[in-house]
Amino acid sequence: MPDEEDEKSDCVIPPAMKIESVSKYLVNQIPEEARDVAEYVEGQAHNEKVSHCELVKTEYVFAERYDVWDVHTDKNRWWVITNLTNLYQQSDFPSLDYLLSFHIGLMARLSAKEGKNHSNGEVDFAPLSRKVDQISHRLDEADEAEDFQNIGLLCREALARRIHQTGPKGLAGVA
């Protein structure tokens, strides 16, 4: 039986590409969004420098968009999920699906708590502002009739939510 070292193959497996180089070859990523996520991580994960930031998944849950980013730093690897952006260490959440469910549940609880805190008549425009940003982003990407119909539904939902939170008088501050 011939020794394995004696057998040569024409098949050569190249070494793994450095993660810093991968970003140059990403196709469906908006550089400004990646830069915003990288800056967020560097602001939250003190003394860490981002070496790679990649959008890996976008999911819509009840018309809310959640972008999931895989972010590598010089010390850790993070998941970043938008729509009330938060970061999570990948070592704590190895399952992306589980993390997304966790994040959506956490954000729903925070939103519910936030809604109760505005019973004194104060108006919080942050949720409406986020919704307008989401609608604007979708409008930029829309090209089919269905896309525009969905945008119309999101606008209606944002308006209905606003009226529900503040009553018709709360619309006076919306320009």
On the question of pLDDT at 10 being above 70, the answer is yes
- What mean pLDDT comes out for the span 48-74? 92
On the question of pLDDT at 100 being above 90, the answer is yes
For the chain, domain boundaries:
21-114, 121-166
Q: What percent of the chain has pLDDT over 90?
A: 35
pLDDT of res. 102 = 95
On the question of pLDDT at 78 being above 80, the answer is yes
Which carries the bigger pLDDT value, residue 110 or residue 169?
110
What 68-71 contacts at long range (C-beta under 8 Å, 24+ apart), as own/partner pairs, is 68/96, 68/99, 68/100, 69/34, 69/37, 71/37, 71/38, 71/41
Cα dihedral 40, 155, 107, 71 in deg (nearest 10): -30
Contact 31, 68 (CB under 8 A): no
Which carries the bigger pLDDT value, residue 173 or residue 133?
133
Q: Confidence class of residue 111 from pLDDT cuts 50, 70 and 90?
A: confident
- The amino acid at residue 137 is H
On the question of pLDDT at 160 being above 80, the answer is no
- For 11, list phi and psi in degrees, rounded to 5: -85, 120
The pTM of the full predicted model, rounded to 2 decimals, is 0.56
Strand order in the sheet with 50-61: 50-61, 64-73, 77-81, 86-89
